[in-house]
Amino acid sequence: MGKTKLLFITHEMSPFLDLTAISKITRTLPQAMQEKGFEIRILMPRFGNINERRNRLHEVIRLSGMNIVIDENDNPLIIKVASIPAARMQVYFLDNEDYFHRKYVFNDAKGKFYADNDERTIFFCKGALETVKKLGWAPDIVHCHGWMSSLVPAYLKTNYKDDPTFKDAKIVYSIYENGFDGTLGDNFAKKALMKGMEEKDTASYAAGTNNALVKAALEYADGVVLGAETIDEDLLNFVKKSEKPVLDHQATADMENYYNFYQEIATDELVSVA
């Protein structure tokens, strides 16, 4: 058998962007799994405050040039890459001038949530999956971190369920305590639809709140990681009722538990690690 292929999709990762605890785990976990023999790919947005020169980002011409359709508008997708020499890992960055070339990440200088964070989220999730297809690399496990990746599980289990790149992929979704206030707007669920999907496929996202996005992602996920010690009680109850395999936060301190959890998810051995 070949190596298990593990795809990480996150909106932040150290040393490129440190916003919350997500950036630390998405830096250490991929390296730990690579050292255990997994084949790793990592995708994140190229937000405007990520310094291209300091981090040595450069465009990957063969992957760039796609257009991501949102609300019937074409949005060009540029792919850049950077290396973490100490870990021998590459990180792929999804770039778009209109969505990401800003001084701030999710809120403007006055702290106001960007009005187009809904489209930025859709662009990132669609773009990530199309990039992996173009790479010609079929992951065994897709591990999503943070609310900005929350549409990926829905896309994988609906629009991409028969796609050769993703048809055998299992989905792990990590829940954290750092979300966002407010909503992504009344039209988020409809905007998020891809050709071939039905309105019911994104109905659970309709409220556009942080908890709505997380719950909807969990509905489609094959396994759940509690990525923080303190998680919203409503989300914890939802996880318990889902009866899906769970990696408890206490267990995440030992990377061996992640390794075992991935192997169990990949082989349909449903088990919780608490």
- Average pLDDT for 238-242: 93
Above 70 in pLDDT, residue 1?
Answer: no
Task: Round the average pLDDT of the chain to a whole number and report it.
Answer: 93
Q: What is the DSSP letter of 164?
A: T
What DSSP line would sit under 171-231, residue for residue? EEEEE-S---SS-S-TTHHHHT--TT--GGGSGGGTT-SHHHHHHHHHHH-SEEEE-SSS-
- Global pTM reads 0.95
Domain ranges of the chain: 5-266
The closest of 243, 273, 270, 268 to 258, measured between CA atoms, is 273
- pLDDT at residue 274, as a whole number: 45
- Average pLDDT for 55-67: 93
Contact call for residues 14 and 24 (beta carbons, < 8 A): yes
Please report which confidence band the pLDDT of residue 267 belongs to, taking 50, 70 and 90 as the band edges: confident
Above 70 in pLDDT, residue 271?
Answer: no
- Average pLDDT for 262-268: 88
Above 50 in pLDDT, residue 273?
Answer: no
Above 50 in pLDDT, residue 154?
Answer: yes
pLDDT in tens, 64-101: 989 999 988 999 999 999 998 788 899 999 999 999 99
Please report which confidence band the pLDDT of residue 269 belongs to, taking 50, 70 and 90 as the band edges: low
pLDDT in tens, 92-148: 999 999 999 999 999 999 999 999 999 999 999 999 999 999 999 999 999 999 999
Distance, CA of 209 to CA of 173 (rounded, Å): 17
Domain 5-266: assigned CATH number: 3.40.50.2000
Instruction: Give the dihedral of Cα atoms 169, 174, 180, 181; nearest 10 deg.
Output: 100
- pLDDT at residue 178, as a whole number: 75
Residue 19, number of CB atoms within 10 A of its CB: 16
Residue 158 CA to chain centroid, in angstroms? 16
